[in-house]
Amino acid sequence: MKHVQLSEEWIHGAVSLERRGSGLKPWRIPYADYELYPPDGIGGKAEICAGIRLRFQTDSLFITLKFEPLTEGARIDCMADGNFVGTADLAAGEMEAAWTDLPSGRKVVEIWLPQNIGMTLTVLLLDADAYAEPAPDTRPKWITYGSSITQCVAADSPAQTWPSIASSIGGLNLTCLGYSGNCQMEPMVARLIRDLPADIISLCLGINIYGAESLSARALKSSVIGMLEIIREKHRNTPLLLISPIFASEREATPNKLDLTVSFIREEIAEVAALLRNRGDQNLYYRDGREWFSEADAVHLSDGLHPDAQGYKLLGERFRGRMLEGVVLNS
Query: Residue ranges of the domains in the chain?
Result: 2-134, 141-323
3-class secondary structure per residue, 184-239? CCCHHHHHHHHHCCCCEEEEECCHHHHHHCCCCHHHHHHHHHHHHHHHHCCCCCCC
DSSP string, 101-120: SPPSS-EEEEEEPPSS----
Judge whether residue 331 has pLDDT over 90. Answer: no
Question: Which CATH topology does 141-323 take?
Answer: Rossmann fold (3.40.50)
Phi then psi dihedrals of residue 320, to 5 deg: -65, -45
In sequence order, what are the residues at sequence separation of 6 or more whose Cβ sits closer than 8 angstroms to the Cβ of residue 249? 298, 301, 304, 305
Confidence of residue 22 (pLDDT cuts 50, 70, 90): confident
Query: Within 13 Å of residue 40, how many CA atoms lie on the same side as its CB?
Result: 6
Question: What pLDDT, in 10s, does the model give residues 85-124?
Answer: 999 999 999 999 999 999 999 999 999 999 999 999 999 9
Q: pLDDT tens for residues 127-154?
A: 999 999 999 999 999 999 999 999 999 9
> How confident is residue 56, by pLDDT bands cut at 50, 70 and 90?
very high
At residue 49, φ and ψ (nearest 5 deg) are -90, 25
Task: Give 250-253's long-range contacts (Cβ < 8 A, gap of 24+).
Answer: 250/304, 251/207, 251/210, 251/304, 251/305
- For 248-301, how does the pLDDT look when each residue is reduced to its tens digit (9 = 90+)? 999 999 999 999 999 999 999 999 999 999 999 999 999 999 999 999 999 999
**Secondary structure (DSSP) of 59-100:** --S-EEEEESPPSS-EEEEEEETTEEEEEEEE-TT--EEEE-
User: Around 18, how many Cα atoms within 13 Å sit in the side-chain half-sphere?
Assistant: 17
Decide: helix, strand or coil at residue 261.
coil
Average pLDDT over residues 45-60: 99
Q: Enumerate the β-bridge partners of residue 12.
A: 53
pLDDT tens column, 158-184: 999 999 999 999 999 999 999 999 999
Residue 215 has pLDDT above 70, yes or no: yes
Distance of alpha carbon 51 from alpha carbon 315, whole angstroms: 15
CATH among 3.80.30.20, 1.25.40.10, 2.60.120.260, 3.50.50.60 for 2-134: 2.60.120.260
Query: Over the Cα atoms of the chain, what is R_g?
Result: 20
Please report, rounded to a whole number, the percentage of residues in the chain having pLDDT higher than 70.
Answer: 100
First to last CA, the chain: 44
The pLDDT value recorded for residue 305 is 95
Q: Say if strands 284-287 and 240-243 run parallel, antiparallel, or are unpaired.
A: parallel
CB 305 within 8 A of CB 207: yes
Please choose, from the candidates 61, 63, 135, the residue with its C-alpha nearest in 3D space to the C-alpha of residue 104: 61
